[in-house]
Each structure stands twice: as structure tokens, then as C-alpha cells.
Amino acid sequence: MTTTPATPEAATPAAATGPDLVLDVDHLVVEFRTGKQRVQAVSDVSFQVRRGETLGLVGESGCGKTTTGRALVQVQPATSGTVRFEGRDLGSLSAGELRATRTRMQMIFQDPISSLNPRRRIRDIVAEPLVIWGIGTPDERQERVRTMLESVGIDPDTAGDRRPQEFSGGQCQRISIARALMANPSLLICDEPVSALDVSVQAQILNLLADLKAEFGLTMVFIAHDLAVVKNVSDRVAVMYLGKLVELTGSDELYRSPAHPYTEALMASIPEPDPEHTTDHQGLTGELPSPLDPPSGCRFRTRCPYAQDRCAAEEPLLREVRPGHQVACHFPLGTSEAAPA
Amino acid sequence: MSPGRRARDRSLEFPDVSEVSSNPLLEVDDLRTAFRTPRGTLRAVDGVSLTVNRGETLGVVGESGSGKTVLSRSIMGLLPARDVVRSGTVQFAGHEMTALPLSDLRQVWGAEMSMIFQDPMTALNPVVRVGRQITESLRLHLGLDKQEALATAVELLRSVGIPSPEERVRSYPFQLSGGMRQRVMIAIALACSPRLVLADEPTTGLDVSVQAQILDLLASLQRERHMAVILVTHDLGVVAKRADHIAVMYAGRIVERAPTRTLFAHTRMPYTRALMESIPRLSDASGTRLRAIGGRPPDLINPPAGCRFAPRCALAQDKCREEEPMLQPSEHPDHLFACWFPLADGQSASPPAGTPVTVSAAAPTPVGTPVAAPDPVGEPFPGPDTADGGGPA
């Protein structure tokens, strides 16, 4: 034991504004400066995540989903807007308080191999969160390492003394997950955790995340570009495009009746493992516009098959078209307002 | 460049398409590539035979470590000079690739057979403008002068869908997005109108939306230019609608090979089915448990006895762990599979939860005659490790 707080929870009393609300993101804006210009990577994004829920965050490269994920744990400070985690505004916390809070919110990354220190042994990598927080005796920590490695399907006896290079990508991702869960977080943010993996290994990791979520009562934010993967793990899905949230609803509802043309196009791009499969919709064409100079009005209008004059003139705001189904489109699909194709 | 240079570059004759159109463009027979490592001989490709016709697409599918990348590099002859043993034959447009000296291979690479690599950021030279990376092969193989080559490069960039190509030829790779870089890679690979393009995981690092665009682009250029394509991927979804034939690789061997529709409709090998089942489908309800394949591909230095997939196969029986199944024909044309207990149409590779494996009763006994011997007649890889293969040649 050391003199640091015995448990990370001690530093983060649950100030309750609704115990079921783990994350409350309100008008989040993240800007980057490039030379004299400013880029809004995340542009006025609001959403909430309830306890035990998995929220999927989906979109193409450059849509701001990773920046959003980083802003949730304040690795990337918000330019404006607030991120409330378990009732506390993370932007108002001191550096020490924020550090203590982060034990409750952990992140796993896309490239499992480069997120593990190649020169350290697996047992030390996984034990590190406890060492940093001075939790437990060395023996207790190693016991916890054993338990966690077993939960993620890694044999602690053979793996503990080895180094990351001796493991495959899928195994490294399992080790990253074990490390993230060591300090008992309530929120796990997964940033493209399976994008670098083979489909066979991807399925193993997705099943593992589902099991761990149930076992440890986790709340998750799952970031990925593949809507089929996101749908599989998520209860609700938020679709992002060029820094904006364009659609937010339950995963099955999103698949059944996507209201935003971007969501529809994103779904049509997914390769179905079936030679007989056909789709009525066109996949996406063209490139993502530059976020330095986003299109006026609706940012998707330059690639939207249904775009009208109004889309260029007026920015659509996120609104509810059906209970629990929000969309930012002037002519949402599957509603009476839909534009003629 | 002078016409003389062009003539010299064309000293290796490739007959016109029309002359030999009845023969396959590429015929690989019993190809084996092994690497000598400190731990022993690693058989990355272990007796692969396949054919590709003109203008056709062959999908080669397998997990990391199945040998699919080494297979494509072995076909092309892009292997390290040391500690590699390759045997078998690679007949390409009337030439035996394995017998060609490096000087002749250089005339084939880029001109007749080219490769699109997985990671365009590392495959492109970061300090050379993309224009020059495209004109390099145009000038070398087609003997174009600088101006002609540059004009062709601009046209190529336009044909792969790069906006304002006149400006983009002057870009460096880092100034382009991942999708754009992959388009540049395709432009380079297609610059000299090769007959065969090997695309090794061409879209794996890309978003699904960009992936669809790149694959569509490749398919339309392929039709236009009547090229054959070998599309190597770990994702059966990628090749489901784009390949004419699919070869599924596992642990250095082809375990199932068929026309695409046959492969999906009449899957016989549990590994193929397991690969299909591990893909999350948009049409499945959220939270549907994926049928993952447990474990990982075997160590190719010491592969398991019997069927190499048996240790991970939910339907494996004692026979699978003892005797290696050979590729044999199914009742469907051009369909080969290597399995002792082939699946029935529509049968899952995973047994119903909670029930013991009872496949032996349902599965037909092995049928047909073997068409390929799984073991070499002699030992093609003289090396320290002869534990699992025949005697000296």
C-alpha cells in the first residue's frame, strides 16, 4: 500500500443527477488549429449514455468519432460544451481529480500491438493501473492480473512473463482489455477495437466484450466505421458525419428504418457475405469534404442523392422524428417529409 | 526513350491474348514455399494448385497466417533471396515464372503482372511525388518519354477517380487520404495494362464506404482492360460478389475451391462455413452472438497431424486428427474440398448449443477420388526439419 487513495472511487464520490446517467455530453465542440485556420473536428454534439448501455459511434474516417471518444475522457480537452461523467462536469475538475476519475473510465484502442509497451512483460503491463493507484499488495495485484487475464481468455501462467511481440493482434487486444478493466471502470470506451483484426478474431473479441460487459456491469461507447460491427454490440447507435451527429436511435430501429440518407448509404456499403445479396441503395460516392471548409447547410448534401435547395441554405438540426429516433435532416427518409428520390 | 530501349524491354515475348486464349492465363501447380527459420522449416505455402483465366477474378480467402500473402508473392516471385525454398510450377502466359532470371522477372513485374499492396502508405515512396511513381513503369516498360508518361499518369489518376489529377500528380503520398493513396496504388499497378493484378488485402485498412468504392473501381477497370485479378482477403464478404472463383486457404493449403455461388450455396468444408459465420451481419438483431472460430491458425513449422483445421473444428472426429483429408471433388462442377465429414448444404460449422457433436451420423462418408496428393513425392525442402515429411528426394 502507498499513501495514494486506497481506492479510486474515494476520489470520485458519485454526485448524483440521475444515477442511471453515466455520460451526459452537451453541445460538445472540439477545435484544432492548423496554421491560421481552425477546424471543428467535433461540432456541437450532444448525447447521453445510460448505465449498462452500449452506445455505438459510427462514421467514416475524419468524421470526428475518435476525437469525440478522446474528449469523453478529456484526453482531448473540449473547446466548448460539457462532458458530465457520473454527474460531474469533467471540464471543471482539477488535474488531480480528473486523473482519479479516469480510473472509472478506460479506453481501448485500435492498434493493440502499439498500445502495449513492447519492452514490458504482460503481467507488469496489466498490473500497472493498480501500481499507479497503489491498490493492493504486489501479491494481491498479481492475483487480480491472473483473474483478469483468465476472464479475457489468456492463460496467465504461459503468458505472464512474455512480451507483447510474442502475441498476435487479437491476443494483444485481449491483453489491452484486461488492463483497461483492472481498476474496475464503469465506462469503457472502445476506439475501433476490431478494425485491425481478421473477421474470425473480430468475432472472438466482440463476443468477449459482450461477456465482459455483462460480467462487470460495464457501460460502453463503441467507436467503429463498420455499421454491421457497431450494430452487433450496441443498444443505440449515433451516426456522425463531418463533426456532426446526424442520426441517433436504437440499433435495430436504425437498421429497419434509417432516417438519414447518410446512414442508408453507409449500410449499402457493407459487403454482405452472400453472393445473392442485392441492395436497392447506392453506396457512398465521392470523398469526405474538407472539414476546414464544410459545405453550407447540411454537411452531407454534397454526397446526398436526395439533396434539395433547402439543404444548402439551412442547417438541419437534430430532432425527434419518432419516439427515441433523432435525425438531422430536412427530409428524413421513411417519413411524410421525405424528399422525392 | 528510344525505340531500341523499348525493343530490349520487350525481349521477353508475351503472346497476344487471342493466340492462347484457350489456355488459362495462370496455372499454379503444387506450389510450395518454405522459409528456413532458427526454429525449423516454416511451410507457408504447402502444395497449392490453382488456375486463373483471362479477365477472371479469383478470391483467395484465409486468416492471417494462412499463407495467402506468401502465395501471392510466390506467384509473382517476390520473395527474399535467402532462406527460402520454392518448388512447384507457376505457368503465366506461356512462361514458367519460377525459371525466369531476375532480369526477365523485372520485365514481367509491372508490365504483365502487378501487385496492389495492403498498406499504400508504406508501399508508396513517401519522398517521391505520386506522378513520378506512376511514370516510372511507363517509361521503363513502355518506353514513353517524360511528357507522354506524365500525360498518361494524369489520365490514369483520372481513371481511378482522383479529382483534379493535373494537380494531384504533384502531390506526395502524405498529402492524400488513405482511399486516395490506394487509388494511386491501383493507378501504378494498372499503368502498363498488365494481364494479371494481384491485390493483397487492397482495402483492409480502409473504411467500409471507401472499401466499396475501391473494389468497384477495380472491378470496372478490370472489365475495361480485360485483366485477371487475384483478390486476397480475410473477409469472405469482400469477395462474395466480386470473385468468379474462391479458394479458401488454411495453414498453407487450399481447403476448398469453387465457383463463388457454389462455394456459398454448397459449402462443404467447416472452415469455410466458420469464416462465413464469423462475419457480423447487418440483418441480424443487435446483440446476436457471433459464431467465432476459437483458437488461431496452427504453427506452420509444426502443423498438427491429420486435418490442420481439426483442432479448431467444432465437428472434428478422431479420424480428422489422424489422417489428412485430400482435396476431392464434390458433386458440383469445379468444386473441391478437403474434409472427411463434409457439411450438408446449409449446415452450420458450429453444433447447436448444449448438444453433443453428432455429425458422424448425419455426414456422408467421404466420396470421390482424391485429385491432389497432399504430400510431396519427395522432400522438396532439404533442411533440418524433416520430422513430418517423406524421405530425401
What's A92's domain CATH number? 3.40.50.300
Q: What is the mean pLDDT of each run of 10 residues along chain A (341 residues)?
A: 41 50 95 87 95 94 91 92 94 92 91 89 94 92 94 90 90 94 94 89 93 93 94 96 96 95 92 83 80 92 94 95 95 86 58
Test B278 with A284 for CB contact under 8 angstroms.
no
Distance from CA of A133 to the nearest CA of B (A): 34
Distance from CA of A168 to the nearest CA of B (A): 9
CATH assignment of B3-243? 3.40.50.300
Nearest to B264 among A61, A232, A275 (CB): A275
Examine the pLDDT at B12 and tell me if it is beyond 80: no
In whole angstroms, give the CA distance from residue B99 to residue B85: 13
Residue of B nearest to A234 (CA): B286
Q: Which of B220, B272, B282, B288 to mutate to test the interface with A (most CBs of A within 10 A)?
A: B282
Instruction: Indicate the pLDDT class of residue B378, thresholds 50, 70 and 90.
Output: very low
Judge whether A113 lies within some domain: no
Judge whether A147 lies within some domain: no
Contact B173, B124 (CB under 8 A): yes
Instruction: Indicate the pLDDT class of residue B114, thresholds 50, 70 and 90.
Output: very high
Judge whether A115 lies within some domain: no
Give residue A337's pLDDT: 84
In chain A, how many domains are there? 1
Mean pLDDT of the region B200-224: 88
Question: Tens digit of pLDDT for each residue in B146-156?
Answer: 999 999 999 99
CB pairs under 8 A between A and B: 145
Nearest to A60 among B209, B284, B292 (CB): B209
Judge whether A321 lies within some domain: yes
Judge whether A244 lies within some domain: yes
Matching residue, cell 502524405: B174
H or E, element range at A24: strand A21-34
Q: Cβ–Cβ contacts within 10 Å for residue A291, how many? A: 18
Predicted ipTM > 0.90: no
Higher pLDDT, A64 or B20: A64
Distance from CA of A298 to the nearest CA of B (A): 20
Contacts with A284 from chain B: Cβ below 8 Å = 209, 212-213
SS3 of residue B59 by DSSP: strand
Judge whether A10 lies within some domain: no
Provide DSSP, A276-321.
T---SS----SPPPPTTSPPSSSTTGGG-TT--HHHHHSPPPPEEE
Residue of A nearest to B284 (CA): A232
Test B293 with A275 for CB contact under 8 angstroms.
no
pTM of the shown model: 0.84
Contacts with B288 from chain A: Cβ below 8 Å = 232
Give residue A274's pLDDT: 87
Give residue B197's pLDDT: 96
Give residue A341's pLDDT: 58
Give residue A15's pLDDT: 39
Test A201 with B241 for CB contact under 8 angstroms.
no
Nearest to A168 among B179, B208, B296 (CB): B296
Judge whether A131 lies within some domain: no
Test A287 with B179 for CB contact under 8 angstroms.
yes
Instruction: Indicate the pLDDT class of residue B65, thresholds 50, 70 and 90.
Output: confident
Give residue A198's pLDDT: 87
SS3 of residue B173 by DSSP: helix
Domain map of chain B by residue range? 3-243, 269-281+290-327+340-393
Test A283 with B264 for CB contact under 8 angstroms.
no
